[in-house]
Amino acid sequence: MLAADPRASRGRRHAEDDRASRGPRDAFQRDRDRIIHSVPFRRLRHKTQVFVAPDGDHFRVRLTHSLEVAQIGRTMARALGLNEDLTEALCLAHDIGHPPFGHAGEDALQAAMADAGGFDHNAHTLRLLTRLETPYPRFDGLNLSWETLEGLAKHNGPVTGPLPWALAEANEGFDLALESWPGLEAQVAAIADDIAYDNHDIDDGLRAGLFTLAELLEVPLVAEAWAAVRARYPDEVEARLAPELVRELIGRMVNDVLGETERLAAGLSSIAQVRDAGRQLAGFSPAMAAQERLLKQFLHARMYDAAEVKAVRVEAQAILTRLFETYRADPGLLPEPWRPGTGDQVAVDRRIGDFIAGMTDRYAVRQYEALNGPTPIRERF
């Protein structure tokens, strides 16, 4: 009753001829497949998750993070009786609007585009999927279903107040009911994102030597999980148990979300009631949420704000800032398909932002060096 039904979808912005459908797929399966086959999804393999152009082959990038989010999201959707295909589509696409260099790149574009409405990666996800990606002959965008676009627009919950310009543009003429909570599939995708990056950043942080296991065990949630792992494998060396610790933490978080969601959604009989509930229904219990906040605080202090990570982030921001300034001074330097056809500065700035946001980390470095000369970050590629 609370699962999204593709047969009851609110449809797509552009009507499509059902005779052109390929294979026995419903609306949400087609959405997922369109995302997987899109160019922006492929570019995620060379976009930063935490480490800029990671030196090792075993660290996460945006693509591997999105796949891991999808695995966790599907597991929870199946356990809760939700639509797995819609959940997977939302998980796979949730980061597709990220610019190069992760949040550092987003901050640089936000500052560079301040006079043009700024930049928001979540809003840019909608812009990519509804306008910029053009694999179909009769319309711009991937023409995804209303439910998929709604879930992506509300990845962080209802959107109130002034809308980011890119989100307002995507919402115009195809109202995504931004003021309400999304369906449970979108809520599950959002919490799966939190679970994935919390735990896989533990793995990457330990692998990179940014903190030790002993330091990590100062976090109560991790200490409890480690005690359970040690009880199961009392004679195993610590190095073999770090992956088991991550699995234990993921399992604890997933089980907590399942129990809390079932408790909060008990008695609801329709998706409309989910949207009108006025609160998040799929998420951590208050106790787990408090423990997860402590884990995030540790990761911010020891990983995201680590001196070596911040130093590269500063270099990355300088690259995008200078790239934007260079293209703004001479838009003719943009590749021909990207050159703005108007003298309006806001439109020009947004066009430049679109082009830069679509770059991978390494392509941004190559473009910078072609226009401005060497950068210290080159040695990482």
The larger pLDDT score, comparing residue 238 to residue 72, is at 72
Digit-coded pLDDT (tens) for 222-277: 999 999 999 999 999 988 999 999 999 999 999 999 999 999 999 999 999 999 99
Q: How far apart are CA 88 and CA 32, in angstroms?
A: 7
Q: How far apart are CA 178 and CA 185, in angstroms?
A: 16
Q: How far is CA 281 from CA 88, 136, 148, 257, in A?
A: 18, 36, 18, 9
Does residue 278 sit in helix, strand or coil?
Answer: coil
What's the predicted TM-score (pTM) here?
Answer: 0.94
- Average the pLDDT over 311-324 and give the result: 92
Domain annotation for the chain: domains and CATH numbers: 27-171 (1.10.3210.10), 184-308 (no CATH), 316-380 (no CATH)
How far does Cα 268 stand from its chain's mean position? Answer: 29
Digit-coded pLDDT (tens) for 195-212: 999 999 999 899 889 999
Give pairs for 130-135: CB < 8 Å, separation 24+: 130/13, 130/170, 130/174, 131/169, 131/170, 132/354, 132/358, 133/38, 133/39, 133/40, 135/37, 135/38, 135/39
When pLDDT is cut at 50, 70 and 90, the band that residue 24 belongs to is confident
**pLDDT confidence of residue 381:** 44
Digit-coded pLDDT (tens) for 272-299: 999 999 999 999 999 999 999 999 999 9
The larger pLDDT score, comparing residue 21 to residue 195, is at 195
**pLDDT confidence of residue 21:** 60
When pLDDT is cut at 50, 70 and 90, the band that residue 51 belongs to is low
- Average the pLDDT over 14-22 and give the result: 72
